[in-house]
Chains A and B, each alone.
Chain A
Amino acid sequence: MTQTLSPSEPLADARPVVSLDHVTKRFPGVVANDRVSFDLWPGEVHVLLGENGAGKSTLVGMLSGLQLPDEGGVLVEGREVRIASPARALELGIGTVFQHSMLVPSLSVVDNMALGGSWWSRPDRDGVARKMAAVCADIGVTIDPHAKVGSLSLGEQQQVEIVRALMRGSRVLILDEATAMLTPKGADDLGALMGRLVKLGIAVVFITHKLNEALAFGHRITVLRLGRKVGEIAPERLAALGPAAATAEIVRLMFGTGATATEAVATTVRTRPNGAPVLEIEGLAVDDPSVPVAGIDLSVAPGEIVGLAGIDGNGQKQFAEALAGQRRLAAGRIRLGGETIERLDVGGRRQRGLRYVTDDRLGEGTVGSFPISLNLLLKQVGEAPFWRRGIEQPEAIADHARRLVSEFDVRTPGIETAIGKLSGGNIQKALLARELSGPTRAVIFAKPTYGLDVQNIRATRQRIREAADRGLAVILISTDLEEVLELSDRVAVMSRGHIVGVVDNDAGARNRVGELMSGVTA
């Protein structure tokens, strides 16, 4: 079961231990991984970098046996394998340490190690402790085998998981967002440990969205964006670039900046709106345990698109929900057409023309088991002419649905089809139909093209432009900088719950936004 950890000669092998060969994985409505290829070499820390939703977790899932690819193959030592279960992954020598501890906190370290042994035999605690001591000595960590796991720090728990994976004979170690819960000191320790592991010939996959860690600990860096592999920096190149150039390169890959600048500028020949602002936000603050939002000032003129750029999870969601009325404001005012609306509920704000296109289309945007016709009226339940005195009017509801389905080109077998059965692109079209029809003054789009294919991305962006051309005030929240630059008149950058800067979208915007996002000028 255990293999001895002898230092092998790294890089002498010309073959990767594990490769993913053009794997594709789809979930309802989303292509999570699109023909991603990924090679793991012994003796290397391979960093997998990307934002939330870039497809890192899916990739890890396919390596660790939680998910099977829809297309493409997985090769271990050059042989094609099918990793159908976590047990199979372990058998093949692929061990995974997940972000959240998979240990039983009330048991001792040894007992946790002995879990998964045969149920009929008494756990050989001394034997396990001896093996553990050997592995610990190999990789230079000290763990008390009889300590209760719950009493260890998160960093120590992670070491326990790493040791456990090695004791089971892993040659590949996947660390999924391993530093997310650690203190900076803990993260440095983990980095040093990874260095010692690869010296023993183990291949390490290190998943993170923190740039500095990627550069400090990684030998090879692969960047994922929106389910696609957008770039790989080989060890020689990484060494040659030096930290500053490498950072620039990675930012370019992660946020897609600098790629098609000319094309983007060509499409934004819209007349610059300069009327009195229709949507004004002053000092908006939201209490939130993970990302408190504070001091948001933003005003949007009719016909203006204000892009809200930033790395995912910096308070965009909280801001959008507070604006739409789904979340309580801690402070601040919101005015729509001069009228204060921050005390109104979702329905009241919607009635006055504020719309919110959520990014969580199946989670909150729709009721998957309900027909399209009702989902198109989800925010108008009880309103005339679809309901009279509270009684449903099937004709009016069906007419409304047919009109919107054809107007917004929703491809569906019928208006009575459960919306959850549609593709992601068509669900998004239905949501756009719901939010952009009727008397509207301001629209918030949250990651409107997330998870869509190219055609639907184009169609959605066209809808956003049309909305602005109709004179609506538009806030476009997106983590795709390319999209923000393509559509917006002004770009605000959000970081840690604050707006750290607003820039006009001119020739120099790309660089200034990039700087604001990576925190250079913060």
Chain B
Amino acid sequence: MSETTQIGGDALLARRSGAWRERLRLVAMALGPVLGAIVLSGLVLLALGVDPIAYYGYVVDRGLINPYGLQATLTRMGPLLLIAAGLIVAFRAGIWNLGGDGQFLLSAVIVAALGPLLVPYLPVWLVLLVGLAVGAMVGAVWSLLPALLKAYQGVNEIITTLMMTFLGVSFANVLVKLAFRDPATTVPQTRTLIVADRLPRLFDTTVSSGLIIGLVAIVAVHLLMTRTAFGLKLRIVGANPRAAVHAGLNVPLLTMATFALSAALAGLAGAVEIMGVQGNVRADWNPAYSLTVVPLVFLARFNGFASIAFVFLFSVLSIGGESAARRTGVPNFFTLVVVAILLIMLGITEYLDQRRRAAGK
């Protein structure tokens, strides 16, 4: 900051070194909490009587190094990226859509029921396209009530979207057990979309093309929010709703659009997960991806590219964590413990950085 007050060439030089220092600071700000979280989680593992080195070894091996593990990791990223894209739209517009799980699951169930029905009549590519479109629409429809309440009545969307998730998850279960149940199986689940009719795999791997859909979506959303007039309008509403009114923006309409877009992306994630990975929905299945992605999007500060990195990291942790859990006897949920510690570390880093900046002034 103080460097910029110098004059001429010195100032330029100083600014350049200042920029380097700034970049270093950013890297430290990003890596510091990650390292801290790994160390702290290791301590928790030690307390559980598990060798942290072995645990992390399995995680890295099974999530990253082992080819099958890596392919599973990349496949897992597809729906997570779509959910992250949906959350970025909403959070940047100042709308806390925490109903992603309901939007995701209902879309998944309806797409799972619809796919096998359409297969006899339509070519595969059309089935997939219809499935994706229907999934997005179902997600959007499930956000309509909170959207209307927020846009025209100012009702807090955190409460309404969470409640719609409870309703949506239960409703999805009811649909699986009563309406869409596959008569050929004993456990309640929908009919299965055969592997040949699912989203194509990439090249010779087992990676689903859902990854591409996810990457395209999150990059598109990032550009939408940062480079377009529509994205700017949403950000104005998010940053200062009164300024939006003053500038003549139609705030209720923009609010509705935000909900629709955000929930459609969550719904799309459901369709991708079913048509790319699962093939059917079993009763009581609820991966709760959306609430897991919320902290990741926060860690990335609503930046699309940073979100890709964090989603990748999380996918490695969760795929690797699954096998590490089996081998070391740590519960599967330990991955969430690591993410939670990471979030706390990030909060502390931010706090320290602000204190440092305040002191430097």
A interface residues, Cβ below 8 angstroms from B: 325-326, 345-347, 350, 356, 358, 360, 363-370, 374, 378-379, 381-382, 387, 390-392, 413
Contact = CB atoms under 8 A, between A and B. Distances in A.
Interface string B231-249: 0110110011011011111
Contacts, number: 64
A394 B227 CA distance: 9
B228 A326 contact: no
A369 B236 CA distance: 10
A326 B240 contact: no
Given A367-B240, A368-B240, A369-B239, A347 B248 contact: yes
Interface in B323-338: none
B285 interface: no
Given A345-B248, A350-B248, A378 B243 contact: yes
A346 B249 CA distance: 8
Contacts of A370: 235-236, 239
A345 B250 CA distance: 9
Contacts of A356: 246
Contact of B246 (A365, A368, A374, A390): A365
Given A367-B240, A391-B227, A392-B227, A374 B245 contact: no
Contact of B248 (A346, A363, A366, A413): A346
Given A369-B239, A381-B233, A364 B246 contact: yes
Nearest to A350: B248
12 contacts: A345-B248, A346-B247, A350-B248, A356-B246, A358-B246, A366-B243, A368-B239, A370-B235, A378-B236, A378-B247, A379-B248, A391-B228
B245 A326 contact: yes
B354 interface: no
B152 interface: no
B229 A392 contact: yes
A390 B229 contact: yes
Interface in B1-51: 4
A367 B228 contact: no
Interface in B108-136: none
B228 A374 contact: no
Given A358-B246, A381-B249, 13 more contacts: A326-B248, A345-B248, A364-B245, A367-B236, A367-B240, A368-B240, A370-B236, A378-B247, A379-B248, A382-B230, A382-B233, A391-B227, A391-B228
B256 to A, nearest CB: 17
Nearest to B248: A346
A382 B228 CA distance: 8
Given A326-B245, A346-B248, A381-B233, A392 B240 contact: no
A335 B232 CA distance: 32
Interface of B: 4, 227-230, 232-233, 235-236, 239-240, 242-243, 245-250
A360 B249 CA distance: 17
Nearest to B233: A381
A368 B243 CA distance: 10
Nearest to B238: A367
Given A392-B229, A392-B232, A363 B242 contact: yes
A381 B239 contact: no
Contacts of A392: 227-229, 232
Nearest to B224: A390
A374 B232 contact: yes
Closest 10 CB pairs of A and B: A346-B248, A382-B229, A364-B246, A364-B242, A347-B248, A387-B229, A367-B240, A379-B247, A367-B239, A378-B247
A134 to B, nearest CB: 47
A396 to B, nearest CB: 12
A381 B227 contact: no
Contacts of A363: 240, 242-243
A390 B247 CA distance: 17
Nearest to B223: A391
Contacts of B4: 413
Contacts of A381: 229, 232-233, 236, 247, 249
A365 B243 contact: yes
Contacts of A374: 232
Contacts of A364: 240, 242-243, 245-246
A378 B230 CA distance: 12
A382 B249 CA distance: 11
Contacts of A358: 246
A413 B1 CA distance: 11
A358 B243 CA distance: 10
Contacts of B250: 345
A390 B227 CA distance: 9
A381 B235 CA distance: 11
Given A345-B248, A350-B248, A390 B243 contact: no
Nearest to B227: A392
Contacts of A345: 248, 250
B243 A367 contact: yes
Contacts of B227: 391-392
B227 to A, nearest CB: 5
B251 to A, nearest CB: 11
Nearest to B245: A326
A137 to B, nearest CB: 49
A374 to B, nearest CB: 7
Nearest to B250: A345
B250 to A, nearest CB: 8
B249 to A, nearest CB: 8
Contacts of B243: 363-367, 378
A296 B240 CA distance: 31
A249 to B, nearest CB: 39
Contacts of B248: 325-326, 345-347, 350, 379
